[in-house]
Structure 1
Amino acid sequence: MKHLTPCETHTFLEQRPEALFVDCRSTIEYYFVGHPLGAIHIAWNDGEDWEVNPDFVAEVKRLTDSDPQRPVVIICRSGRRSIEAGEALEAAGFKDVINVLYGFEGERDEHMHRNTLNGWRVDGLPWEQS
């Protein structure tokens, strides 16, 4: 799995429009916190019990037309869940999986707040809130 900063990821996505950009955060995070423009939502964990989505890999396969060579870029809140999701894709045969370091909201600062140090939003990359 490759790891790119948000700015590197944005450049990669501009250069590789065939890449699938997956936001693997929960439904609530995706809609209420916001999400990168162009990211498709497929939750890795969701619901009351924060269970792993048993259909995650199948959904990605469907959206990539089962092409294991198609790049898949994954983002979450801070870059941790996306590693787990990426590992599942690699185990399923995907060859070009990219994790977005620091995720959408970034690491916590000394006050335990996100959106201050790094991440997609802090870097000023395009996003929207639904």
Structure 2
Amino acid sequence: MKKILFLLVTLFIATSQLYAAAFDASQLPKNKQTIAGKYLSAQEAYEMVVKNPGKLLFVDVRTPAEIVYVGIADQVSLNIPYELDDFSTWDGKKNLYRLNLNPAFTQKVAEALAAKALGKSDPVILMCRSGGRSASAADLLTNAGYSNVYSVYDGFEGDMSKEGRRAVNGWKNANLPWGYKLDPQRAYLPK
């Protein structure tokens, strides 16, 4: 039994390193690049989670409003927003309500890892709409001492097409499992 477990862990680590090494990060826009340089496509994230659901944490870092109105991947462990909506302040540059950094982000990730008996060296996969916020969140965790953080570079909805639609890549466009059902175990609860 120990040999089998050892082989599975070894295979998981090798597969994780293969995913990270197989992608040329120089192709990514600067806002999607991370300090650690660990990336997964939505398809690769799905495969990694399905193979090892108890050995990693898969976090959707979008706002709760995005989750409710756009949907969530079935395999996501939980929603921990990197930024939170501030409906009292308008961002004139972006023409929408201001988003503020979630001050509890790293704490909530630490709590989620501890609940799964995992630590800072275990894989954490982060996904947002299209890869920008997940990259920023990955940098925040890397700077906080996490050593195995992946950003899903094409995100849940993917990049914009020439027609202005999010139809190029991403979780939804790869026809991976998702829906609108959000249960309390995966929902972001600030307290």
Q: Give the TM-score range, shorter chain.
A: over 0.9
Identical pairs, percent: 33
**Alignment partner of 1:58 out of 99, 102, 107:** 107
Partner of 1:9 in structure 2? 45
Give the distance between the partners of 2:172 and 2:125, measured in 1 at CA. Answer: 17
Paired residues in the alignment total 129
TM superposition score normalised by structure 2: 0.65
1:6 positional shift: 0.8
Partner of 1:76 in structure 2? 128
Give the distance between the partners of 2:148 and 2:66, measured in 1 at CA. Answer: 26
Amino acid at match of 2:108: E
Partner of 1:101 in structure 2? 153
Partner of 2:63 in structure 1? 26
**Counterpart of 1:32 in 2: which secondary structure?**
helix
Structure 1 portions without partners, runs of 5+ = none
Question: Deviation above 4 Å: which 4+ runs of structure 1?
Answer: none
**Counterpart of 2:126 in 1: which secondary structure?**
strand
1:112 positional shift: 1.3
Give the distance between the partners of 2:172 and 2:108, measured in 1 at CA. Answer: 26
Does residue 118 of the first structure (1) align with residue 172 of the second (2)? Answer: no
Of Structure 1 and Structure 2, the greater helix share is in: 2
More relative contact order in 1 or in 2 (CA 8 Å, sep 6+)?
1
**Counterpart of 1:123 in 2: which secondary structure?**
coil
**Counterpart of 1:70 in 2: which secondary structure?**
coil
Tell whether the 8 Å contact from 2:62 to 2:82 is kept in structure 1 after alignment: yes
Partner of 1:41 in structure 2? 79
TM superposition score normalised by structure 1: 0.95
**Which entry has the higher C-alpha Rg, 1 or 2?**
2
Amino acid at match of 1:44: Y
Amino acid at match of 1:52: L
Give the distance between the partners of 2:135 and 2:153, measured in 1 at CA. Answer: 9
**Counterpart of 2:174 in 1: which secondary structure?**
coil
Structure 2 portions without partners, runs of 5+ = 1-35, 87-97, 182-191
**Counterpart of 2:67 in 1: which secondary structure?**
helix
**Counterpart of 1:11 in 2: which secondary structure?**
helix
- CA RMSD of superposed structures (Å): 1.1
